[in-house]
Structure 1
């Protein structure tokens, strides 16, 4: 049986200094997180701007410049610093002469692993989609990512029909993804064998976006057309 003298007394640690230390560490960590966010925010924004611009020029053939607009409540207005986007953001693409070549918009739908985010280009001249660019996906490598690499699948978007109905309130035909090799109509998408879920996600994303966007955009394409300006050519001087 132990005696009180034999017991080893553990020194007690004052709670106050420990709490103050932990609070100091927490405040420093929070400060560093905020500082890192503030320092990297403009870099991230610039990288996103460049990525979107490159994607716009890919999905709108012939475009060399762009202007941003927002579609909201049947109105189409340009996006400015003083007037941020409140609605569906679209990117109008123009050639060197300032002619409107098409309009790009974002779309997303659930794939096999996660949401598939993409940008598609709408060509008013043919009332069709001229191309897509996948912005983000987490599909199975070698299968789901074929929506980027499979040439036959990408060819679906050379001229995918997205004409509006006679009353202009909806698509004349819903965009649907069909079994590989069974495409019969210009509004259908041939799926990829082994990547059906990812293929259907692309079709669903475009269909949902086009149904929402085009009825409000198409009647106001004249605003986008009028906004085009020829690119300034560098002056050539004789030396």
Structure 2
């Protein structure tokens, strides 16, 4: 009886000690990599901005109500538009979208998917150029609409076959992001 109790206590002690060591190592690695992760996220955002807006030469970040708005400039600080990072729930997880609009916030210049964990081969097709190109030059004064078949009206995009949830999620995130950007820019202009 004493031996089994002693054995159980030893197992508990060893497992607890091993768990604590692993927890400390994991915490150390996470904290030491946090700055590099933030730096890489920022690089991804800037790469996406320059990919969407060809004539953008300079980007200035501005914090407004805890949100970041990216002001896009041509040469000699001529404002050409804004970019904004919006996120929401997709089919399997979070989707982050960066989109750019013209300086009057009336026309969408394009979108770029920054992060998604959608189903490979289905929902992950939101990253394909054919899907993203549908968003170029859409109006921002009316919501973008996702349809299953070929778009028949203005501001419609065709959903990806077998990935309508992911397609609709992108459109929903975009529409909410456009409204947020409009209110942030309006507030900044006061």
TM-score, length-scaled by structure 1 = 0.66
Match in the other structure for 2:86: 107
Secondary structure of 2:153's aligned partner? coil
Question: 1:118 touches 1:134 (CA, 8 Å); kept in 2?
Answer: yes
Q: TM-score, normalised by structure 2?
A: 0.80
Matched residue SS, 2:77: coil
CA RMSD of aligned residues (A): 3.1
Larger Rg: 1
1:67 aligns to what? 60
1:179 aligns with 2:148: yes
Question: Are residues 219 and 61 of structure 1, via their aligned partners in 2, closer, same or farther at CA, if it must alter by over 3 Å?
Answer: farther
Q: Is the 2:151–2:157 contact (alpha carbons within 8 Å) kept by the matching residues of 1?
A: no
Q: Superposition pairs for residues 212-227 of structure 1, below 5 Å? A: 212-218=180-186, 220=188
Preserved CA contact (<8 Å) 2:64 2:188: no
Q: Does 1:33 align with 2:11?
A: no
Q: Which residue of 25, 32, 36 corresponds with 1:43? A: 36
Where do 1:188-203 residues align within 5 Å? 188-203=156-171
The equivalent residue for 1:138 is 117
Change beyond 3 A, Cα 1:38–1:11: closer
By percentage of residues, which structure has more helix? 2
Gaps of 5+ in 2: none
Structure 1 residues 142, 12: CA separation in 2 closer, same or farther (over 3 Å shift)? Answer: closer
SS in 1 for 2:121: coil
Q: Distance in 1 between matches of 2:146 and 2:16?
A: 56
